[in-house]
Amino acid sequence: MGIARAPALALVTGLGLFLGAGGAGAVAPAVTCGATLTRSTTLSKDLHCPGTALVIGADGITVNLAGHTISGTNAAGGEGIASDGHANVQIVSGRITDFRLNGVGIRGGSGNVVRGVTIRRIGAGGVEGEPVSAGIALVGSPGGRIVGNDVANDVDAFQADGADVLNSPGSVVQANRLSRNSWDGLVLIGSAGSRVTGNELDGNKNHGTEINGASDSTVVTGNTADGNAGIGIVFGSARDARVVGNSATRNDLGLFFFDLHDSLISGNSARANRNGIELFGGQFGSDGNRLIANVANGNAETGIGLSLGANDNLVSGNVANENQAPVGEGGGIYVEASTGNQLVANVANRNLDSGIVFYEDEPGDAAGNSLKANTTNRNANHGIDAVAGTLDGGRNHASGNAIPPQCRNVVCSN
């Protein structure tokens, strides 16, 4: 392609002006839809493209949208920006809309970055059997960073996520707004050692975020998950995770964990959901976890639950007040068909069922849990409704509960 001297160009390389053979100022050639970029490029006006708009063709380049929009026509397989096998690419500062597959699709390479991009209407019309669509897809690309983007694929589609991070260990998803997507705000699978921090994961038609598939040692902190149709935050099939200081409000279930091992769940808030926080045994059990200082108040049914093989966990210093499951159907804190758990210094007051309650699916399958220094006052059932075989560590307190005795199968003081 020759040197263009037009006064206005669609794209200008990040190198800007350079000296031609005669010493006069010259600019790089315009780049059109479908171009393969091999050096850093800054957009100088909008692009409207029928298929994939731009293709990354080299490592270490930056595509700066400079506030402009790349839009598509929802053509099958089309992406706003596609990168396959390239490392240390940065895509920054603009808007991408109306592509069928991904807004930004990065496959392979490492150290790639998507920052400050607004993405809308990706995947419209997608049906089951098509590749899953996402605003940002990071696949097989370790050490990637998705930072400060705003993605809302509020379209009619089988599945159009805000961001997908797949088989990309050590990734960072930070300070994004991943809301109002037709499926999940964020999916992170097979990406150990990642960080998901400070994101808004609100109003998605399935889950706020789903983290799954051996994403061990991942940290999830400081996120909000509000008004999702499914679960605010899902984390499973992992160990050594840290889920700290997140807020989940007005979801079907606030925070849900399964097949989780040796992990910390601490300082989270789950309010006004149907159910607040649940640790579920899943296929292989959930054990060695620490649920510490979480708050699960005012949920329509239960506050905090351990269920079906959630064994040998520590539940300490949590608050579960004013949850609304009726008698026999929930509780502030409940343990179902699980054993070996330590419930220490929790508060469960003013619930419509018991403050702390144990359920057996088979005789004896909820025995062997221990209770120490818990407070359960003014519940509409018992303070503590334990089962035979519960270990009484003492100093449990219960008063003003509606149905005597104040505690069953453990001793409580007033």
Structure token pair of residue 374? 């818990």
- Which of 28-32, 256-260, 357-361 has the weakest average pLDDT? 28-32
Give the residue-averaged pLDDT of 191-216: 97
**Residue 12 placed within a domain:** yes
| Predicted confidence (pLDDT) at residue 390 exceeds the cutoff of 70 | yes
| Predicted confidence (pLDDT) at residue 77 exceeds the cutoff of 50 | yes
Sequence-distant (6+) residues with CB within 8 A of 248 are 208, 224, 225, 226, 232, 233, 254, 255, 268, 269, 270, 271, 273, 276
Structure token pair of residue 61? 């380049």
Chain segment 309-347, per-residue pLDDT in tens: 999 999 999 999 999 999 888 999 999 999 999 999 999
- Which of 1-10, 58-67, 137-146 has the weakest average pLDDT? 1-10
- Residue holding tokens 């010259």? 26
Per-residue pLDDT band at 3 (split at 50, 70, 90) = very low
pLDDT at 10: 34
Give the residue-averaged pLDDT of 391-414: 97
Chain segment 95-114, per-residue pLDDT in tens: 999 999 999 999 999 999 99
Sequence-distant (6+) residues with CB within 8 A of 129 are none
DSSP secondary structure string for all residues of 66-125:
TT-EEE----TT-EEEEEES--S-EEEEEEEE--SSEEEEEES-SS-EEEEEEEE--STT
**C-beta of residue 88 within 8 angstroms of C-beta of residue 65:** no
Structure token pair of residue 200? 């808004």
pLDDT at 18: 27
**Spatial distance between the Cα atoms of 396 and 191, rounded to a whole number of angstroms:** 42
Give Cα separations from 300 to 249, 270, 332, 381 (angstroms).
11, 11, 11, 16
Q: How many CB atoms within 10 Å of residue 2?
A: 5
Structure token pair of residue 141? 């690309």
One-letter amino acid at 180 equals R
Give the residue-averaged pLDDT of 78-107: 98
Closest CA to 57 of 34, 26, 29, 30: 34
**Residue 18 placed within a domain:** yes
**Residue 17 placed within a domain:** yes
Closest CA to 194 of 232, 151, 223, 225: 223
**Residue 73 placed within a domain:** no
Instruction: Report the first-to-last Cα separation within the chain, whole angstroms.
Output: 86
Closest CA to 46 of 24, 22, 66: 66
Chain segment 41-71, per-residue pLDDT in tens: 999 999 999 999 999 999 999 999 999 999 9
**Spatial distance between the Cα atoms of 194 and 135, rounded to a whole number of angstroms:** 19
pLDDT, greater one: 30 or 177? 177
pTM of the model: 0.92
- Residue holding tokens 């089309």? 78
pLDDT at 26: 38
pLDDT at 29: 57
Share of the chain above pLDDT 90, in %: 91
pLDDT at 31: 75
pLDDT, greater one: 22 or 58? 58
pLDDT at 1: 30
**Residue 126 placed within a domain:** no
**C-beta of residue 148 within 8 angstroms of C-beta of residue 115:** yes
Share of the chain above pLDDT 70, in %: 93
Structural domains counted in the chain: 1
**Residue 387 placed within a domain:** no
**C-beta of residue 60 within 8 angstroms of C-beta of residue 89:** yes
Per-residue pLDDT band at 168 (split at 50, 70, 90) = very high
| Predicted confidence (pLDDT) at residue 25 exceeds the cutoff of 50 | no
**Residue 394 placed within a domain:** no
Q: Please report the beta strands in 121-200, taking only residues with DSSP state E, as ranges in sequence order.
A: 133-139, 145-147, 150-152, 160-166, 172-174, 177-178, 186-189, 195-197
- Residue 16, domain extent: 1-30
Evaluate the CA torsion angle 285, 290, 294, 298 in order and state its sign: positive
Q: What is the mean pLDDT of the chain?
A: 93
pLDDT at 8: 32
**C-beta of residue 318 within 8 angstroms of C-beta of residue 289:** no
**Residue 25 placed within a domain:** yes
**Spatial distance between the Cα atoms of 207 and 184, rounded to a whole number of angstroms:** 5
Residue 323, phi then psi, degrees to nearest 5: -85, 150
pLDDT at 20: 30
| Predicted confidence (pLDDT) at residue 231 exceeds the cutoff of 50 | yes
pLDDT, greater one: 201 or 6? 201
